[in-house]
Amino acid sequence: MQLTVWTYEGPPHIGAMRIANSMDGLHYVLHAPQGDTYADLLFTMIERNNVRPPVTYTTFQARDLGGDTAELFKSSARAAYERFKPEAMIVGASCTAELIQDDPGGLAKALALDCPVIPLELPAYQKKENWGAAETFYQLVRAYTGAQAPAPGATRPQRAAGERARCNVLGPTSLGFRNRDDVTEILRLLADLKIEVNVVAPQGSRPSDLARLPEADFNIVLYPEVAQNAANWLKRTFGQPFTKTIPIGVGATRAFVKEVCELAGIDSTAFLSRERSRLPWYSRSIDSTYLTGKRVFIFGDATHAIAAAKVATSELGFKVVGLGTYSREFARDVREAAKEYGLEALVTDDYLEVEQAVRELHPELVLGTQMERHIAKRLGVPCAVISAPIHVQDFPARYAPQMGFEGANVLFDTWVHPLMMGLEEHLLQMFRDDFEFHDGAGPSHLGGHGGARDASAEAPVAVMAPVATSEAIVLQAPVAAKPEGWAADAEKELGKIPFFVRGKARRNTERYAAERGITTITIETLYDAKAHYSR
Amino acid sequence: MTSVLASAKALQKEACATTERPVLRERGQREVFCGLTGIIWLHRKIQDAFFLVVGSRTCAHLIQSAAGVMIFAEPRFATAILDERDLAGLADANDELDRVVGRLLERRPDIRMLFLVGSCPSEVIKLDLSRAAERLSVQHAPNVRVLNYSGSGIETTFTQGEDACLASLVPELPTRDGGAPQLLVAGALADIVEDQFRRIFAELGMTDVAFLPPRKSRELPAVGPGTKVLLAQPFLTDTTARLQERGCEILAAPFPYGVDGTMAWLAKAADLWGVPRARFDEVVAPAATRARKALDAHKFRLAGKRVFFFPDSQLEIPLARFLSEELGMFPVEVGTPYLNRQQMSFDLDKLPAETLVSEGQDVERQLDRCREAKPDLIVCGLGLANPLEAEGFTTKWSIELLFTPVQGFEQAGDLAELFTRPLLRRTRLEV
Ligand code: SF4
Ligand code: SF4
């Protein structure tokens, strides 16, 4: 039993639903109680889809449990088939239905519907959303390509000379972070490289398109969380190699171009000889100097977290002070990446643990999911979102990819935007006592004060949900041995330090004093500690 | 071929011979939240209570999705997610629960009341939460009282979760022996609405008025024979049954939406207290006049428009009454997840005879009826709203009706505005 306040991932059937909603002509019949229909709003409200997701729920009730829930499943599946006439169906159980063991796969088979039915086994008490998405996609790919598998040992026929290389693009899904724009960006890039695209899946394809997957020379895996299993199977079965580089950031995009060109047997030198992103120059521009060594905390799915750490460090000059993921399946990759920054990765799906880490590390910028946005908001730290789970405002109307050269431009803008500009920060430090400066003062280009600029978006619930006191924060304050106190003048001096680093200064000074047995903190102690900890 | 709408109408005609209004009963796919959803407002209403769902990752995900993760402060709810080990009996689910509750209460020493909320998985594996609650109550006495109820989707829809929660509170209420009559207003209201009602009752000279749920778990109102209950929410079937068992009398009244609804609701209690009619009129007149004026500003936009309700919160029938009687709209179909005829009788009787009332749901068929009826406004849940908008319909998402203070005189205009806004918006947009 795990105590959970917020979850990073839904149950695995939500992953299956994301696959169903990504494709055309695929329908999902889910054995589930009525409350589980909440999932529709993820697609219609958060992603603003203009049609309902292709999902039929059996919505069994307590009174059905004694009777025949299996019959209910069958009639729902039959009715769904007749109404929607899908090209293929996936069937499965939600957490509750798993307990009543009706075997949706077997029941659906017995109906002998006039379309392929792919049964899903998604253990709801062990696995989570991304696993469910990956498994569903893999099962679909297997079902549609398995019959074409060449005899073991057979070699792939060579492409005819002069024929363009072809690839599949795997992984984009509904509810994925910026997947819509990433795909556009990557398809443009491939077009520039004169590489043909065979199938993009699951987003934008039909089940029958999956049967054409083996026709490509190689696969591009954009989101390993979803496509890794399928790509592995395609490699094993059809000898299709797949890409490992995730094209997020300028460096990674260039590496991706090289990797893709190698797989396609073309020369990338000419293409890469021109700078295609503004990020490098913007980062070198002297107004960006103040970004140097900004402390950044990063948390998200493995793919986006690892990529963000790389970009933050080598393309913006930040310092990564925390790196973590909720994707246990990819924990090893994140641990390895964290080592490069001299860190131990935080692998958890416990929101409270992440909050604690942010609080302790005092970052100047948080790059995370919508959960970290809330943590950052509460702690008054600037934040940008880099990974699912996401909310309605993370599906922007404008074109805003994360991948490719344009994606790198977007990263520069969105990560730098929440920060205070360099000179502004200096002025705030120099003239702390100016009567118009106050702790709430945030970056001048952002309306209101930095910490609570989303507050208006919260109005609907605020009516019923008054903003609480900082009780939780007080509760969690570390109980380390504390010096007796601050001399009045030292406390006043501390007040002159800008609020966004004041907490850190206070803690550092107290730690410094405690370690040295100093009981009363004076101005001297404050500056001694500052010198001691200065980076 | 007869249309779906025509056949539904035929059904209604047939049943019309009897005095009771015919109701179309549907049993198909429902598109309604489960009772866990009520936690979103209940955890803010009772300020020292915590709601611990014992369920699956789905349950945790439901609450967070329905709340839109819009809660800035640390929520006073959480989910104890059952895992494989609990199911396989490797870990004793009760020991696990004790451990989780211990950790939770340690983190939140300010909590005085803990609700263990049952879910579909906990019900199916027959985890006995009432015994767990008893055990934990003893363990954590006197600081924390532990209660339990079910918000599971196999037993409750949406607002029935609040009903189950309040019903679990009733046995906890102290006993009040005889004495002068006391008024108990049942059903969670926004604090501001509660305060308005309190002021009106005070002016009417009714001082012994209590609200369920209270804002603090230690301020439970005493009940007994002599307690008259006025229902502020239309979904309290189990709660009223429990209150009746305690000797309370449930006052039959319409629900306090709009001017007429609020007036009749207040009058029901005032009459019983023997408040002279003149005095009553004098007290409510200023607010009622204000409210009428506020409604007039919306009437010209809404009158004559046809509205279609998908089942959601059980607020549908009283709201349809408000829209038709006070604003001149015509309810084509009023769907409700569950119909309590007795409590609904006042509002139900005021609906036009041609209005189709449906209970339960078969969402696909209901969508067919809706498309055929081409209403001017559709009141529906979040899952249906955008797709219907994309088809060219105007919708009002129903969950907002629970998250906004809408009862009473001062809110009558706001309530009307919730229905006007989507219509107005459509006329404004030129793209
Ligand atoms: S319907 Fe049941 S399983 Fe689904 S969220 Fe509600 S209580 Fe949990
Ligand atoms: S309030 Fe804003 S940031 Fe918070 S969940 Fe809602 S939209 Fe997201």
Closest Cα in chain A to B98:
A1
Judged by its nearest atom, the ligand closest to the C-alpha of residue B34 is 1
Give the residue, by CA position, lying nearest to ligand 1 atom 3.
B120
Check if the beta carbon of residue B62 is closer than 8 Å to that of residue B36.
yes
Rounded distance, CA B425 to CA B431, Å? Answer: 12
Categorise residue A204: left if φ over 0, alpha if ψ from -120 to 50, beta otherwise: left
Q: Which of residues 104-163 of A touch B (CB under 8 A)?
A: 123-126, 128
Rounded distance, CA B352 to CA B333, Å? Answer: 11
For B384, other C-beta atoms within 10 Å of its C-beta total 26
Phi, psi dihedral angles at A299 (to 5 degrees): -145, 140
CA distances from B156 to A261, B312, B344 (A): 57, 12, 19
Gyration radius from chain A CA atoms: 26
Which residues, in sequence order, are bridge partners of residue A392? none
Mutate to test the pocket of ligand 2, among B40, B64, B65, B70 (most ligand atoms within 8 A of CB): B70
Distance A35 CA to ligand 1 centre (A): 5
Rounded distance, CA A305 to CA A299, Å? Answer: 6
Mutate to test the pocket of ligand 1, among A7, A14, A17, A36 (most ligand atoms within 8 A of CB): A36
CA distances from A505 to A321, A501, A520 (A): 17, 6, 16
B44 to A464: CB separation less than 8 angstroms, yes or no: yes
Atom of ligand 2 nearest to the CA of B68: 5
DSSP classification of residue B396 = E
The tokens describing B333, both together, are 């179909």
The tokens describing A401, both together, are 């990819």
Check if the beta carbon of residue B82 is closer than 8 Å to that of residue A1.
yes
Chain segment B353-395, per-residue pLDDT in tens: 999 999 999 999 999 999 999 999 999 998 999 999 999 999 9
The tokens describing B63, both together, are 């609450």
Q: Which positions in chain B touch A11 (Cβ < 8 Å)? A: 56-58, 61
Q: Classify each residue of A438-461 as buried b or exposed e, where b means 16 or more C-beta atoms within 10 Å of its C-beta.
A: eeebbbeeeeeebbbbeeeebeeb
Rounded distance, CA A389 to CA A379, Å? Answer: 20
Q: How many CB pairs under 8 A join A and B?
A: 228
A51 to B387: CB separation less than 8 angstroms, yes or no: yes
Q: Classify each residue of A139-151 as buried b or exposed e, where b means 16 or more C-beta atoms within 10 Å of its C-beta.
A: bbbbbbbeeeeee
Q: Classify each residue of B118-129 as buried b or exposed e, where b means 16 or more C-beta atoms within 10 Å of its C-beta.
A: bbbbbbbeebeb
Q: Which amino acid is at A233?
A: W
Q: Which positions in chain B touch A471 (Cβ < 8 Å)? A: 74, 110
For residue B56, give the nearest of A3, A125, A475 by CB distance: A125
A41 to B107: CB separation less than 8 angstroms, yes or no: no
**Per the omega criterion (within 30 degrees of 0), is the bond before B142 cis?**
yes
For residue A35, give the nearest of B34, B57, B110 by CB distance: B34
Rounded distance, CA A519 to CA A133, Å? Answer: 57
A101 at B interface, C-beta within 8 A: no
Rounded distance, CA B100 to CA A318, Å? Answer: 39
Rounded distance, CA A111 to CA A78, Å? Answer: 7
Nearest to A64 by CA among B27, B17, B158, B378: B27
Q: Which positions in chain B touch A369 (Cβ < 8 Å)? A: none
C-alpha neighbours within 13 Å on the C-beta side of residue A138: 23
Q: What pLDDT, on the 0 to 100 scale, is given for residue A527?
A: 86
A37 to B40: CB separation less than 8 angstroms, yes or no: no
Distance B69 CA to ligand 2 centre (A): 6
**Per the omega criterion (within 30 degrees of 0), is the bond before B213 cis?**
yes
Rounded distance, CA B183 to CA A103, Å? Answer: 53
Q: What pLDDT, on the 0 to 100 scale, is given for residue B32?
A: 93
DSSP classification of residue A466 = P
Pocket residues: Cβ below 6 A from ligand 2: A 370, 373, 391-393, 454, 457-458; B 68-70
Element (H, E) at B150: strand B145-150
Closest Cα in chain B to A467:
B73
CA distances from A501 to A179, A232, A361, A507 (A): 35, 47, 11, 10
How close A465 gets to chain B, by Cα (Å)?
Answer: 6
ipTM of the complex: 0.92
Check if the beta carbon of residue A115 is closer than 8 Å to that of residue A90.
no
Phi, psi dihedral angles at A369 (to 5 degrees): -100, -170
For B11, other C-beta atoms within 10 Å of its C-beta total 15
H-only helix segments in A239-327: 250-264, 269-272, 279-284, 302-314
How close A56 gets to chain B, by Cα (Å)?
Answer: 8
Strands (E), B29-76: 49-55
Residues 6+ apart with CB under 8 A from A95: A11, A13, A124, A125, B56, B57, B58, B120, B121
Q: What pLDDT, on the 0 to 100 scale, is given for residue B273?
A: 94
A488 at B interface, C-beta within 8 A: no
B72 to A56: CB separation less than 8 angstroms, yes or no: no
B153 lines ligand 1 (CB under 6 A): yes
How close B283 gets to chain A, by Cα (Å)?
Answer: 27
Distance A36 CA to ligand 1 centre (A): 6
A41 to B57: CB separation less than 8 angstroms, yes or no: no
Judged by its nearest atom, the ligand closest to the C-alpha of residue B150 is 1
Distance A457 CA to ligand 2 centre (A): 6
Q: Report the predicted TM-score, pTM, of the whole model to 2 decimal places.
A: 0.89
Rounded distance, CA B163 to CA A8, Å? Answer: 30
For A380, other C-beta atoms within 10 Å of its C-beta total 16
Q: Are strands B23-27 and B356-361 parallel, antiparallel or unpaired?
A: parallel
Give the mutation candidate from B33, B34, B70 for the A interface (greatest A CB count, under 10 A).
Answer: B70
A35 lines ligand 1 (CB under 6 A): yes
Give the residue, by CA position, lying nearest to ligand 2 atom 8.
A391
Rounded distance, CA A526 to CA B105, Å? Answer: 37
Q: What pLDDT, on the 0 to 100 scale, is given for residue B16?
A: 46
Q: What pLDDT, on the 0 to 100 scale, is given for residue A478?
A: 37
Categorise residue B272: left if φ over 0, alpha if ψ from -120 to 50, beta otherwise: alpha
What mean pLDDT value characterizes chain A? Answer: 88
The tokens describing B100, both together, are 């989780």
Catalogue the active-site residues of A.
Answer: 287
Judged by its nearest atom, the ligand closest to the C-alpha of residue B123 is 1
B69 to A44: CB separation less than 8 angstroms, yes or no: no
Nearest to B347 by CA among B1, B21, B18: B21
Positions in chain A whose pLDDT score sits under 50: 448-482
B32 lines ligand 1 (CB under 6 A): no
Rounded distance, CA A18 to CA B427, Å? Answer: 34
Distance B55 CA to ligand 1 centre (A): 8
Judged by its nearest atom, the ligand closest to the C-alpha of residue B71 is 2
Q: What pLDDT, on the 0 to 100 scale, is given for residue A444?
A: 61
Q: How many residues would you count in chain A?
A: 535
Give the residue, by CA position, lying nearest to ligand 1 atom 8.
B59
Element (H, E) at A365: strand A365-368
Nearest to A369 by CA among A384, A349, A347, A348: A384
Q: Which amino acid is at B137?
A: S
Rounded distance, CA A182 to CA A406, Å? Answer: 9
Rounded distance, CA A386 to CA A414, Å? Answer: 10
> For every one of its 431 residues, what pLDDT tens digit does chain B have, with 9 covering 90 and above?
445 555 555 555 554 444 678 999 999 999 999 999 999 999 989 999 999 999 999 999 999 888 765 555 678 999 999 999 888 876 788 999 999 999 999 989 999 999 999 999 999 999 999 999 999 999 999 999 999 999 999 999 999 999 999 999 999 999 998 778 899 999 999 999 999 999 999 999 998 999 999 999 999 999 999 999 999 999 999 999 999 999 999 999 999 999 999 999 999 999 999 999 999 999 999 999 999 999 999 999 999 999 999 999 999 999 999 999 999 999 999 999 999 999 999 999 999 999 999 999 999 999 999 999 999 999 999 899 999 999 999 999 998 899 899 999 999 999 999 999 999 999 999 98
Q: Which positions in chain B touch A455 (Cβ < 8 Å)? A: 72
Which residues, in sequence order, are bridge partners of residue A114? none
Q: Which of residues 59-78 of A touch B (CB under 8 A)?
A: 59-62, 65, 76
Judged by its nearest atom, the ligand closest to the C-alpha of residue A57 is 1
Atom of ligand 1 nearest to the CA of B151: 7
The tokens describing A82, both together, are 């007749």
Check if the beta carbon of residue A193 is closer than 8 Å to that of residue A271.
yes
A458 at B interface, C-beta within 8 A: yes
CA distances from B172 to B41, B169, B189 (A): 21, 5, 20
The tokens describing B127, both together, are 């985890």
Distance B152 CA to ligand 1 centre (A): 5
A465 to B103: CB separation less than 8 angstroms, yes or no: no
Distance A374 CA to ligand 2 centre (A): 8
- Using CB atoms within 10 A of its CB, is residue B8 exposed (0-12), middle (13-18) or buried (19+)? buried
